[in-house]
Structure formats: structure tokens, C-alpha cells
Amino acid sequence: MSLLITDECINCDVCEPECPNGAISMGDEIYVIDPELCTECVGHFDEPQCIEVCPVDCIVVDPDNQESRDQLQAKYERLTG
């Protein structure tokens, strides 16, 4: 389950440095999350750090990129291994 930043994003810049996988970057108009890099912080933290710091609650589960916790753990291991 990769995360997704909705168009409610206010470009406050707090989420990008919190991502341990470097999955968040500035898109054309708002920040975006690369589903190939997003592990929802599995392997790093108990909760997704971007959601924790977002002041407008615009980060949600991406319905087009749903993964189980085991799949997210495997992605984390690939990214850090």
C-alpha cells in the first residue's frame, strides 16, 4: 500500500525530509510519492512519518498500489539490502 499525496497538499515541505526511502519529491504542482520507493515506513518506523508530520492530512493510502505488510517489508529489504 503505497501512499498518495492528494491535491489538498499545501507544499509546506515538511514531508519530503521525513521519508527514509526518498520516495517523496516535488511534482509539477504538489509533492508526489514514488510507489516503487514507498514502504509506508515499514522497516524504519511504526507509522508513516509523512502522515505524522502532514499539517493538512493530505496523505492517504493509494488505492492503485495496495501491498500487504509482508510485501512492504520485502520492498524495504530490497531497497536497503
pLDDT at 1 over 80: no
Predicted confidence at residue 81, as pLDDT, reads 87
Global confidence as pTM: 0.93
**What tens digit of pLDDT does each residue of 3-62 get?**
999 999 999 999 999 999 999 999 999 999 999 999 999 999 999 999 999 999 999 999
Name, in order, each residue with C-beta under 8 angstroms of 35's C-beta and a sequence gap of 6 or more: 2, 23, 62, 65
Cα 28 from chain centroid? 17
Q: What domains are defined for the chain?
A: 3-80 (3.30.70.20)
Q: CA dihedral defined by 5, 63, 28, 13, rounded to 10 degrees? A: 20
pLDDT at 63 over 90: yes
